[in-house]
Amino acid sequence: MTTLPSSLKQIALFLNRLPGIGEKTANRLAMYFLRMPEIELKTFGENISNLKSRTKLCKECFNLTEEEFCGICTDNTRDKSIITVVETVLDLLSFEVGNIYHGVYHVLHGRIDPLNSIGPDDIYINQLLNRIKELSSFAKASADKDELKEIILATNPDMEGEATARYISNKLKTSNFKFQITRLAYGLPMGANLEYADYGTLGKAIEGRREY
Could you report the per-residue pLDDT of 108-127, keeping only the tens digit for each?
999 999 999 999 999 999 99
Q: Which domains does the chain have, with CATH numbers?
A: 6-54 (1.10.8.420), 64-192+200-204 (3.40.1360.10)
Listed residue (13, 7, 35) closest to 25, CA to CA: 13
Cα(74)–Cα(105) distance, rounded to whole angstroms? 12
Average pLDDT over residues 174-184: 87
91 and 58 Cβ atoms separated by less than 8 Å = no
Residue 210 has pLDDT above 80, yes or no: no
Identify each DSSP E strand in the chain by its residue range: 56-57, 64-65, 79-86, 103-107, 150-153, 180-183
CA gap 11, 23 in Å, rounded: 11
Q: What does the pLDDT look like over 36-68, one tens digit per residue?
A: 999 999 999 999 999 999 999 999 999 999 999
List pLDDT tens digits, range 180-209: 999 988 887 878 787 888 888 888 888 887
Kindly state the average pLDDT of the residues 85-110.
Answer: 94
Residue 4: count other Cβ atoms within 10 Å of its Cβ: 15
Confidence check: pLDDT of 141 > 70: no
Instruction: Enumerate helices (H) and strands (E) in the chain, giving the number of each.
Output: 7, 6
Nearest to 9 by CA among 39, 31, 35: 31
Which whole number is the average pLDDT over 93-102? 90
Residues 193, 11: Cα–Cα separation, whole Å:
44
Angle (deg, nearest 10), helices 159-174 and 125-142: 30
pLDDT number for residue 1: 37
Task: Write out pLDDT tens, residues 149-167.
Answer: 999 999 998 999 999 999 9
Report pTM: 0.85
Task: Report the 3 state secondary structure along 15-62.
Answer: HHCCCCCCHHHHHHHHHHHHHCCHHHHHHHHHHHHHHHHHCEECCCCC
